[in-house]
Amino acid sequence: MTISTQTPEKPRRFVILRHVDREGTHFDLMIEYKDVLWTWKFSEWPDGVGEKSHIGQRIADHRPIYLEYEGPISGDRGMVTRVDWGDCIIEQESHDGYLVRFSGTIFTGRFSLTPAASQSWALRRLEA
């Protein structure tokens, strides 16, 4: 991996949303990147993953409004509630994925976020 140009002086914001829709409940992890939010969808709350990886899907970028928005999603696409938020620093990034340090109200620590088979991504805690 190559070292990111991200510096501790300029952390990115992140949010984890609980999204309830017709298909059930999932959690969206969103990381600020310029004028969009990179977004991953996980079937279960990603905190406390320990040695176990959580497998999620990279989905379309979202608007920055979701950093603070809670409520119904237009087009009858369900309802979102913020379950955690804070700052994060991408310590390393490459085609192999990201090393990210999260400093949320609940979700904290250093994690790897790496591509896995067939469009999936693995999120794994490296240290608290």
Residue 6 or residue 9, greater confidence: 9
pLDDT at 2: 43
Q: Given a cut of 70, is residue 44 above it in pLDDT?
A: yes
Instruction: Kindly report, residue by residue over 108-120, the tens digit of the pLDDT.
Output: 999 999 998 878 9
Q: Are the C-beta atoms of residues 91 and 110 closer than 8 Å to each other?
A: yes
Mean pLDDT across the stretch 101-109? 93
Helix (H, G, I), strand (E, B) or coil at 96: coil
Copy the structure tokens of residue 27.
């959690």
pLDDT for the residue numbered 3: 43
Instruction: Give the mean model confidence (pLDDT) for residues 11-20.
Output: 96
Sign of CA dihedral 70, 48, 106, 117: negative
How large is the average pLDDT for residues 74-101?
A: 93
Please state the domain extents for the chain: 2-127
Distance of CA 116 to the CA centre of its chain: 16
